[in-house]
Amino acid sequence: MARLPNKTSVNVTRMLYLLVCELAGTAIALQSFGPELMWIGIIIGLSVGAFFIMVESLMKQFTLRGFSTATFGLVIGLFCAWLLTTVKIANLFASTFDELVKRPDDFILTFNVTLYATLGFIGTVLALRSNQDDFAFIIPYVRFRQEDRAGRPLLIDGDVITDGRLPALMESGFLENNLIVPRFVLDELQVMSNSPSPGRRQRGQRGLDCLEELQSDKHIRITIHDSESKNSEETHDSLLMQISRLLNAKLLTTDENLTKVARLQNIDVLNINDLNEALKPKVSVGAQLRLAIVRTGKEEHQGVGYLPDGTMIVVNNAISKMGTTQDVTVISTLNTSAGVMVFAELNENL
Protein backbone atom coordinates (compact mmCIF):
# COMPACT_ATOMS: atom_id res chain seq x y z
CA MET A 1 0.00 0.00 0.00
CA ALA A 2 1.57 3.29 -1.11
CA ARG A 3 1.39 6.35 1.05
CA LEU A 4 2.27 9.99 0.71
CA PRO A 5 5.00 11.57 2.89
CA ASN A 6 3.67 12.31 6.37
CA LYS A 7 4.23 15.38 8.50
CA THR A 8 7.07 13.81 10.52
CA SER A 9 9.21 13.09 7.46
CA VAL A 10 8.66 16.63 6.16
CA ASN A 11 9.74 18.12 9.52
CA VAL A 12 12.89 15.96 9.56
CA THR A 13 13.75 17.19 6.07
CA ARG A 14 13.28 20.80 7.22
CA MET A 15 15.58 20.27 10.20
CA LEU A 16 18.27 18.74 7.98
CA TYR A 17 17.99 21.69 5.60
CA LEU A 18 18.35 24.16 8.51
CA LEU A 19 21.45 22.28 9.65
CA VAL A 20 23.00 22.48 6.19
CA CYS A 21 22.29 26.24 5.98
CA GLU A 22 23.79 26.76 9.42
CA LEU A 23 26.96 24.82 8.53
CA ALA A 24 27.28 26.67 5.23
CA GLY A 25 26.87 30.06 6.92
CA THR A 26 29.45 29.09 9.57
CA ALA A 27 31.98 27.99 6.94
CA ILE A 28 31.56 31.21 4.93
CA ALA A 29 31.90 33.34 8.08
CA LEU A 30 35.08 31.52 9.14
CA GLN A 31 36.67 32.08 5.75
CA SER A 32 35.53 35.70 5.40
CA PHE A 33 35.59 37.21 8.91
CA GLY A 34 37.47 34.78 11.14
CA PRO A 35 36.43 32.77 14.22
CA GLU A 36 35.48 35.83 16.26
CA LEU A 37 32.58 36.69 13.88
CA MET A 38 31.46 33.14 13.26
CA TRP A 39 28.12 33.91 14.90
CA ILE A 40 27.23 36.22 12.00
CA GLY A 41 27.41 33.29 9.59
CA ILE A 42 25.27 31.14 11.91
CA ILE A 43 22.55 33.81 12.09
CA ILE A 44 22.62 34.43 8.33
CA GLY A 45 22.49 30.69 7.60
CA LEU A 46 19.54 30.17 9.93
CA SER A 47 17.76 33.21 8.49
CA VAL A 48 18.18 31.99 4.91
CA GLY A 49 16.99 28.49 5.88
CA ALA A 50 13.99 29.84 7.81
CA PHE A 51 13.03 32.06 4.85
CA PHE A 52 12.95 29.19 2.37
CA ILE A 53 11.12 26.92 4.85
CA MET A 54 8.48 29.65 5.16
CA VAL A 55 8.22 29.80 1.36
CA GLU A 56 7.87 25.99 1.29
CA SER A 57 5.07 26.16 3.89
CA LEU A 58 3.19 28.71 1.78
CA MET A 59 3.52 26.35 -1.19
CA LYS A 60 2.07 23.37 0.72
CA GLN A 61 -0.79 22.98 -1.74
CA PHE A 62 1.51 23.36 -4.76
CA THR A 63 2.12 19.89 -6.21
CA LEU A 64 4.73 18.60 -8.65
CA ARG A 65 2.04 18.50 -11.32
CA GLY A 66 1.32 22.16 -10.69
CA PHE A 67 5.04 22.95 -10.83
CA SER A 68 5.40 21.28 -14.24
CA THR A 69 2.32 23.14 -15.51
CA ALA A 70 3.68 26.47 -14.21
CA THR A 71 7.06 25.76 -15.81
CA PHE A 72 5.40 25.22 -19.18
CA GLY A 73 3.54 28.53 -18.85
CA LEU A 74 6.74 30.31 -17.78
CA VAL A 75 8.59 29.01 -20.85
CA ILE A 76 5.80 30.24 -23.14
CA GLY A 77 5.84 33.68 -21.47
CA LEU A 78 9.63 33.99 -21.69
CA PHE A 79 9.53 32.93 -25.34
CA CYS A 80 7.03 35.70 -26.12
CA ALA A 81 9.25 38.21 -24.28
CA TRP A 82 12.26 37.00 -26.28
CA LEU A 83 10.36 37.59 -29.53
CA LEU A 84 9.59 41.16 -28.45
CA THR A 85 13.18 41.88 -27.45
CA THR A 86 14.41 40.43 -30.74
CA VAL A 87 12.58 43.17 -32.66
CA LYS A 88 14.19 45.68 -30.23
CA ILE A 89 10.92 47.11 -28.97
CA ALA A 90 12.81 48.72 -26.06
CA ASN A 91 14.99 50.65 -28.52
CA LEU A 92 11.83 51.86 -30.25
CA PHE A 93 10.49 53.28 -26.99
CA ALA A 94 13.86 54.83 -26.16
CA SER A 95 14.08 56.57 -29.54
CA THR A 96 10.44 57.71 -29.41
CA PHE A 97 10.86 59.34 -26.01
CA ASP A 98 14.53 60.32 -26.40
CA GLU A 99 13.96 63.69 -24.76
CA LEU A 100 12.71 61.95 -21.58
CA VAL A 101 15.21 59.07 -21.56
CA LYS A 102 18.50 60.41 -20.23
CA ARG A 103 20.33 57.05 -20.11
CA PRO A 104 19.09 54.84 -22.99
CA ASP A 105 21.17 51.77 -22.05
CA ASP A 106 19.78 51.66 -18.52
CA PHE A 107 16.25 52.21 -19.84
CA ILE A 108 16.56 49.36 -22.35
CA LEU A 109 17.90 46.97 -19.68
CA THR A 110 15.14 47.89 -17.23
CA PHE A 111 12.46 47.60 -19.93
CA ASN A 112 13.67 44.16 -21.03
CA VAL A 113 13.86 42.81 -17.47
CA THR A 114 10.34 44.09 -16.75
CA LEU A 115 9.07 42.60 -20.02
CA TYR A 116 10.53 39.17 -19.25
CA ALA A 117 9.17 39.23 -15.68
CA THR A 118 5.70 40.38 -16.74
CA LEU A 119 5.18 37.93 -19.60
CA GLY A 120 6.72 35.11 -17.56
CA PHE A 121 4.27 35.85 -14.73
CA ILE A 122 1.28 36.06 -17.08
CA GLY A 123 2.25 32.81 -18.81
CA THR A 124 2.62 31.00 -15.48
CA VAL A 125 -0.76 32.17 -14.15
CA LEU A 126 -2.57 31.36 -17.39
CA ALA A 127 -1.07 27.86 -17.43
CA LEU A 128 -2.14 27.21 -13.82
CA ARG A 129 -5.68 28.35 -14.64
CA SER A 130 -5.91 26.18 -17.77
CA ASN A 131 -7.03 22.57 -18.07
CA GLN A 132 -5.80 19.62 -20.09
CA ASP A 133 -8.01 20.46 -23.07
CA ASP A 134 -6.38 23.90 -23.35
CA PHE A 135 -2.94 22.28 -23.44
CA ALA A 136 -4.08 19.77 -26.03
CA PHE A 137 -5.36 22.65 -28.18
CA ILE A 138 -1.93 24.33 -28.10
CA ILE A 139 0.02 21.10 -28.67
CA PRO A 140 -2.26 18.47 -30.26
CA TYR A 141 -2.04 14.88 -28.97
CA VAL A 142 0.03 15.99 -25.96
CA ARG A 143 -1.39 15.63 -22.45
CA PHE A 144 0.20 16.94 -19.28
CA ARG A 145 -1.90 15.23 -16.65
CA GLN A 146 -1.41 11.78 -15.26
CA GLU A 147 -5.08 10.91 -15.49
CA ASP A 148 -4.93 10.85 -19.30
CA ARG A 149 -2.53 7.94 -19.07
CA ALA A 150 -3.68 6.08 -15.99
CA GLY A 151 -7.04 7.70 -15.26
CA ARG A 152 -7.97 10.12 -12.51
CA PRO A 153 -7.63 8.68 -8.99
CA LEU A 154 -10.67 7.85 -6.90
CA LEU A 155 -10.96 9.37 -3.42
CA ILE A 156 -13.05 7.00 -1.28
CA ASP A 157 -14.86 7.85 1.94
CA GLY A 158 -15.82 5.72 4.94
CA ASP A 159 -19.37 5.07 3.70
CA VAL A 160 -18.28 3.43 0.46
CA ILE A 161 -15.65 1.34 2.29
CA THR A 162 -18.10 -0.02 4.87
CA ASP A 163 -20.70 -0.62 2.16
CA GLY A 164 -18.85 -3.80 1.15
CA ARG A 165 -19.55 -3.67 -2.60
CA LEU A 166 -16.35 -1.87 -3.58
CA PRO A 167 -14.03 -4.91 -4.07
CA ALA A 168 -16.45 -6.59 -6.49
CA LEU A 169 -16.98 -3.31 -8.34
CA MET A 170 -13.22 -2.76 -8.67
CA GLU A 171 -12.74 -6.32 -9.88
CA SER A 172 -15.30 -5.73 -12.62
CA GLY A 173 -13.02 -3.10 -14.19
CA PHE A 174 -15.62 -0.33 -14.42
CA LEU A 175 -13.59 1.97 -12.15
CA GLU A 176 -9.98 3.14 -12.22
CA ASN A 177 -7.60 1.08 -10.08
CA ASN A 178 -5.95 4.05 -8.36
CA LEU A 179 -7.61 4.59 -4.96
CA ILE A 180 -6.85 7.25 -2.34
CA VAL A 181 -7.89 6.80 1.30
CA PRO A 182 -7.58 9.82 3.65
CA ARG A 183 -5.84 9.12 6.96
CA PHE A 184 -8.84 10.33 8.98
CA VAL A 185 -11.06 7.76 7.23
CA LEU A 186 -8.73 4.97 8.39
CA ASP A 187 -8.79 6.38 11.92
CA GLU A 188 -12.60 6.48 11.79
CA LEU A 189 -12.74 2.82 10.70
CA GLN A 190 -10.44 1.83 13.54
CA VAL A 191 -12.62 3.64 16.08
CA MET A 192 -15.73 1.98 14.64
CA SER A 193 -14.17 -1.50 14.76
CA ASN A 194 -13.50 -1.03 18.50
CA SER A 195 -16.94 0.43 19.26
CA PRO A 196 -19.05 -1.19 22.02
CA SER A 197 -22.06 -1.00 19.69
CA PRO A 198 -22.35 -4.32 17.79
CA GLY A 199 -23.73 -2.72 14.64
CA ARG A 200 -21.10 0.01 14.50
CA ARG A 201 -18.33 -2.46 15.31
CA GLN A 202 -19.48 -4.77 12.52
CA ARG A 203 -19.44 -1.91 9.99
CA GLY A 204 -15.92 -0.90 11.03
CA GLN A 205 -14.61 -4.47 10.77
CA ARG A 206 -16.30 -4.88 7.38
CA GLY A 207 -14.59 -1.68 6.19
CA LEU A 208 -11.14 -2.88 7.32
CA ASP A 209 -11.74 -6.26 5.69
CA CYS A 210 -12.75 -4.47 2.50
CA LEU A 211 -9.50 -2.46 2.43
CA GLU A 212 -7.48 -5.59 3.14
CA GLU A 213 -9.15 -7.36 0.21
CA LEU A 214 -8.43 -4.40 -2.08
CA GLN A 215 -4.81 -4.26 -0.93
CA SER A 216 -4.31 -7.95 -1.73
CA ASP A 217 -5.22 -7.29 -5.37
CA LYS A 218 -1.95 -6.50 -7.18
CA HIS A 219 -3.81 -4.59 -9.89
CA ILE A 220 -5.22 -2.04 -7.42
CA ARG A 221 -3.02 0.76 -6.05
CA ILE A 222 -4.11 2.22 -2.70
CA THR A 223 -2.55 5.46 -1.43
CA ILE A 224 -2.96 6.77 2.11
CA HIS A 225 -3.26 10.57 2.11
CA ASP A 226 -2.11 12.17 5.36
CA SER A 227 -4.37 15.21 5.30
CA GLU A 228 -4.66 17.71 8.10
CA SER A 229 -7.36 20.24 8.86
CA LYS A 230 -6.49 23.92 9.25
CA ASN A 231 -9.77 24.47 11.06
CA SER A 232 -10.78 22.11 13.85
CA GLU A 233 -14.45 22.77 13.02
CA GLU A 234 -14.14 21.36 9.48
CA THR A 235 -16.24 18.25 8.88
CA HIS A 236 -15.05 15.08 7.19
CA ASP A 237 -17.19 15.92 4.15
CA SER A 238 -15.51 19.32 3.70
CA LEU A 239 -12.07 17.71 4.08
CA LEU A 240 -12.97 15.12 1.45
CA MET A 241 -13.95 17.84 -0.99
CA GLN A 242 -10.75 19.79 -0.28
CA ILE A 243 -8.61 16.72 -0.94
CA SER A 244 -10.58 15.96 -4.09
CA ARG A 245 -9.79 19.44 -5.46
CA LEU A 246 -6.15 19.27 -4.35
CA LEU A 247 -5.47 15.90 -5.99
CA ASN A 248 -7.87 16.43 -8.92
CA ALA A 249 -9.51 13.15 -7.91
CA LYS A 250 -13.04 11.88 -8.35
CA LEU A 251 -14.98 11.38 -5.12
CA LEU A 252 -16.47 7.90 -4.67
CA THR A 253 -19.20 7.59 -2.03
CA THR A 254 -22.63 6.23 -1.15
CA ASP A 255 -23.62 9.31 0.91
CA GLU A 256 -26.50 11.09 -0.84
CA ASN A 257 -25.98 14.41 0.99
CA LEU A 258 -22.24 14.47 0.25
CA THR A 259 -23.04 13.69 -3.40
CA LYS A 260 -25.41 16.66 -3.65
CA VAL A 261 -23.05 19.13 -1.93
CA ALA A 262 -20.05 17.99 -4.01
CA ARG A 263 -21.95 18.38 -7.27
CA LEU A 264 -23.10 21.87 -6.23
CA GLN A 265 -19.39 22.75 -5.84
CA ASN A 266 -18.53 21.30 -9.28
CA ILE A 267 -16.63 18.33 -7.84
CA ASP A 268 -16.72 15.12 -9.86
CA VAL A 269 -18.45 12.56 -7.66
CA LEU A 270 -19.50 8.95 -8.27
CA ASN A 271 -22.24 7.41 -6.16
CA ILE A 272 -22.47 3.61 -6.19
CA ASN A 273 -26.19 3.82 -5.42
CA ASP A 274 -26.72 5.81 -8.63
CA LEU A 275 -24.98 3.04 -10.57
CA ASN A 276 -27.11 0.41 -8.87
CA GLU A 277 -30.27 2.36 -9.67
CA ALA A 278 -29.24 2.78 -13.29
CA LEU A 279 -28.65 -0.96 -13.68
CA LYS A 280 -32.06 -1.95 -12.32
CA PRO A 281 -34.31 -3.36 -15.03
CA LYS A 282 -37.21 -1.09 -15.86
CA VAL A 283 -40.53 -2.89 -15.43
CA SER A 284 -43.36 -1.35 -17.41
CA VAL A 285 -47.05 -2.11 -17.63
CA GLY A 286 -47.71 -4.96 -20.07
CA ALA A 287 -44.27 -6.54 -19.65
CA GLN A 288 -44.19 -10.36 -19.74
CA LEU A 289 -42.16 -11.96 -16.93
CA ARG A 290 -41.21 -15.49 -15.89
CA LEU A 291 -41.51 -15.38 -12.09
CA ALA A 292 -41.05 -17.79 -9.20
CA ILE A 293 -43.83 -17.44 -6.59
CA VAL A 294 -42.03 -17.76 -3.25
CA ARG A 295 -44.42 -16.49 -0.55
CA THR A 296 -47.88 -15.14 0.17
CA GLY A 297 -48.86 -11.50 -0.04
CA LYS A 298 -50.89 -9.30 2.30
CA GLU A 299 -54.13 -10.42 0.72
CA GLU A 300 -55.18 -14.07 0.91
CA HIS A 301 -55.20 -14.55 -2.87
CA GLN A 302 -51.83 -12.90 -3.54
CA GLY A 303 -48.48 -14.53 -4.25
CA VAL A 304 -45.13 -12.72 -4.21
CA GLY A 305 -42.02 -13.14 -6.34
CA TYR A 306 -38.81 -11.15 -6.77
CA LEU A 307 -36.75 -9.94 -9.71
CA PRO A 308 -32.95 -10.54 -9.64
CA ASP A 309 -32.40 -6.96 -8.39
CA GLY A 310 -34.79 -7.49 -5.44
CA THR A 311 -37.84 -5.75 -6.87
CA MET A 312 -41.00 -7.31 -5.37
CA ILE A 313 -43.75 -8.50 -7.72
CA VAL A 314 -47.22 -9.02 -6.22
CA VAL A 315 -49.25 -11.48 -8.33
CA ASN A 316 -53.00 -11.60 -7.93
CA ASN A 317 -54.75 -14.97 -7.51
CA ALA A 318 -51.41 -16.79 -7.32
CA ILE A 319 -51.73 -18.33 -3.84
CA SER A 320 -52.34 -21.74 -5.37
CA LYS A 321 -49.12 -21.47 -7.43
CA MET A 322 -46.87 -21.22 -4.38
CA GLY A 323 -43.45 -22.79 -5.03
CA THR A 324 -43.84 -22.81 -8.83
CA THR A 325 -42.60 -20.61 -11.68
CA GLN A 326 -45.33 -18.87 -13.68
CA ASP A 327 -45.68 -16.55 -16.65
CA VAL A 328 -47.13 -13.24 -15.47
CA THR A 329 -48.03 -9.88 -17.00
CA VAL A 330 -47.42 -6.55 -15.25
CA ILE A 331 -50.67 -4.63 -14.81
CA SER A 332 -49.51 -1.67 -12.68
CA THR A 333 -46.56 -0.15 -10.76
CA LEU A 334 -46.49 1.95 -7.60
CA ASN A 335 -43.60 4.16 -6.45
CA THR A 336 -43.09 4.09 -2.66
CA SER A 337 -40.42 5.31 -0.26
CA ALA A 338 -39.05 1.76 -0.14
CA GLY A 339 -38.87 1.47 -3.94
CA VAL A 340 -41.13 0.37 -6.75
CA MET A 341 -43.96 -2.10 -6.10
CA VAL A 342 -45.12 -4.07 -9.13
CA PHE A 343 -48.50 -5.77 -9.48
CA ALA A 344 -49.07 -8.54 -11.99
CA GLU A 345 -51.63 -11.13 -13.09
CA LEU A 346 -51.14 -14.75 -14.09
CA ASN A 347 -51.28 -15.08 -17.84
CA GLU A 348 -53.84 -17.84 -17.53
CA ASN A 349 -56.22 -15.46 -15.72
CA LEU A 350 -56.01 -12.73 -18.35
The model's pLDDT over 321-339, given as tens digits with 9 standing for 90+, comes to: 888 999 999 998 887 666 6
Average pLDDT of the residues of the chain: 81
**CB contact set of 54 (below 8 Å; sequence gap of 6+):** none
- Cα separation, 305 vs 168, in Å, equals 26
- 60 has pLDDT over 90: no
Q: Which CATH superfamily is domain 154-278 in?
A: 5'-nuclease (3.40.50.1010)
What percentage of residues in the chain have a pLDDT greater than 70? 82
pLDDT band at 223; cut points 50, 70, 90: confident
Query: Rg for the chain (alpha carbons), in Å?
Result: 32
Q: Per-residue b/e over 64-75, b at no fewer than 16 CB within 10 Å?
A: eeeeebbebbbe
Q: How far is Cα 188 from Cα 162, in angstroms, rounded to an integer?
A: 11
Q: How many CB atoms lie within 10 A of CB 222?
A: 17
Q: What pLDDT digit, counting tens, does each position of 196-206 carry?
A: 888 889 999 99
Instruction: Give yes or no for residue 13 having a pLDDT over 80.
Output: yes
What CATH number has the domain spanning 287-346?
A: 2.40.50.140
Q: Can you list the alpha helix ranges (DSSP code H) found in the chain?
A: 7-32, 38-58, 64-86, 89-96, 104-129, 132-138, 147-150, 158-163, 166-172, 183-193, 198-216, 236-247, 256-264, 272-279
Give backbone dihedrals phi and psi of 28, rounded to 5 degrees, phi first: -65, -40
Cα 11 to Cα 7, 87, 258, distances in angstroms: 6, 49, 34
Q: Is 200 exposed, middle or buried (0-12, 13-18, 19+ CB in 10 A)?
A: middle
Helix (H) or strand (E) run with residue 302 in it? none
Asked which of 50-54, 94-98, 160-164, 304-308 is least confident by mean pLDDT, the reply is 94-98
Q: How far apart are CA 130 and CA 138, in angstroms?
A: 11
First to last CA, the chain: 60
Measured CA distances, 230 to 50, 267, 297 (Å): 21, 21, 56
| C-alpha count within 13 angstroms, C-beta hemisphere, residue 93 | 18
Kindly list the domain boundaries of the chain, sorted by start residue: 12-129, 154-278, 287-346
pTM (2 decimals)?
Answer: 0.50
**pLDDT tens-digit series, residues 227-249:** 655 555 678 888 899 888 888 88
Q: Is the pLDDT of residue 251 over 90?
A: yes
* Band of pLDDT at residue 314, cut at 50, 70 and 90: very high
Q: Tell me, what's the pLDDT at 61? A: 63
Calculate ∠ Cα 205-211-216, nearest 5°.
125
Strand order across the 295-296 sheet: 288-292, 325-336, 339-346, 312-316, 303-306, 295-296
Question: Reduced to 3 states, what is the DSSP secondary structure of residue 276?
Answer: helix
Instruction: Identify whether the C-beta of residue 21 lies closer than 8 Å to the C-beta of residue 41.
Output: no
User: pLDDT tier at 150 (50, 70, 90 boundaries)?
Assistant: low
Q: Above 50 in pLDDT, residue 141?
A: no
pLDDT at 91 over 80: no
What's the mean pLDDT in 275-299? 83
